[in-house]
A = this chain, B = another copy of it.
Amino acid sequence: MTLLEQSMQNMIEVFHSYVEKDGDGKTLSKKQLKKLLETELPEFLKAQKNPNIVDNIMKDLDQNKDDKLNFEEFVPFVAGLVMACEKCFQKKDKK
């Protein structure tokens, strides 16, 4: 498996490792999203100043308004973060 394939599989497995503790086995509740962010993206979460950040992320991503996040609703969040990170990466390179 290549590095890109492995990275893609990791994204799927990380999401599912938080989902599996739930009943439906496919979606994250807000509580599970919070746990995922605290554990897997601690630096991102620490940098946020808004105390309602998890609520806001949930609201932004929950396209079908069922108060749960499926994988397709979660991926755009990671995609957005990766794009933001890449910009930081380029800025650092210029220094």
Please report A residues at the B interface, Cβ cutoff 8 Å: 2-16, 26, 39-43, 71-72, 75-76, 78-79, 81-83, 85-86, 89-90
Contact = CB atoms under 8 A, between A and B. Distances in A.
Contact of A71 (B5, B41, B78, B83): B83
Contacts of A85: 8-9, 12
A80 to B, nearest CB: 9
Contacts of A72: 83, 86
Q: Give the number of copies in the complex.
A: 2
Contacts of A41: 2, 4-5
A16 B13 CA distance: 25
A15 B15 CA distance: 23
